[in-house]
Homo-oligomer: A and B are copies of this chain.
Amino acid sequence: MKIYLAGPEVFLSDPIAIGRRKVSICESHGLAGLYPMDNTVDLHAADASLAIFRGNEAMMDMSDAIIANLTPFRGPGADAGTVYELGYMAGRGKLCFGYCNDPGLYSERVGRFSTITKQDGRLVDAEGLTVEDFGLPDNLMMIHALDLHGHPLVLPRDRPADVWHDLTAFEECVRLAARRLGAES
């Protein structure tokens, strides 16, 4: 069974190495992990971004499931590319798994970037925009997509020292996926 490995790892300084570790963990659980960086794309070509998109979409279409790394990226919530891919896979009826290496609540994380106040019974940020406050780790669309289309978000008990390289929660997702896809060796 094939599983698409979505996440902002592609933006790390060592995107290939972390991808290999993820694929290797999948292998040890009897699953074939498909990692975006496995597509061969000439990054200097004029249509590089389109080639990346097409490669990722093809990988998703051939996968049975997704494991999305929803660890907050460049702000209080998950990476947009990863979120798009989670939505796409849910829309395709594939099994959805996800993890987040920051176990805090979304509303608390917004407070790290903006001053939150209470106005007319709702939390608002410095721009006056409502801060979602359902006691969830991120936007409800992703959290409940996982609940209803796969397995609830996997969270570590404590924030690991290196949120970008700690794969404990990822491996838990692989275990869950292997069990659901009947591939446990």
Q: List residues of chain B with CB within 8 A of the CB of A142.
A: 80-81, 84
Bound CA–CA A161/B141 (angstroms): 29
**A residues 14-55 touching B (CB-CB < 8 Å):** 48-50, 52-54
Option from B48, B86, B128, B140 in Cβ contact (under 8 Å) with A53: B140
Q: List residues of chain B with CB within 8 A of the CB of A11.
A: 129-132
Contact bitstring A119-147, B, C-beta under 8 A = 1, else 0: 11000110111111010101111111101
Would you call the interface of chain A mostly helix, strand, loop, or mixed? helix
> Do A87 and B78 touch (CB < 8 A)?
no
> Do B148 and A53 touch (CB < 8 A)?
yes
Q: How near does chain B come to A70, taking the closest CB pair, in angstroms?
A: 9
Q: How near does chain B come to A169, taking the closest CB pair, in angstroms?
A: 19
> Do A84 and B87 touch (CB < 8 A)?
yes
| A95 adjacent to chain B (CB < 8 Å) | no
Which of A12, A85, A140 is packed against the most chain B CB atoms within 10 Å? A140
> Do B74 and A141 touch (CB < 8 A)?
no
> Do A81 and B114 touch (CB < 8 A)?
no
Q: How near does chain B come to A72, taking the closest CB pair, in angstroms?
A: 10
Q: How near does chain B come to A10, taking the closest CB pair, in angstroms?
A: 8
> Do A139 and B80 touch (CB < 8 A)?
yes
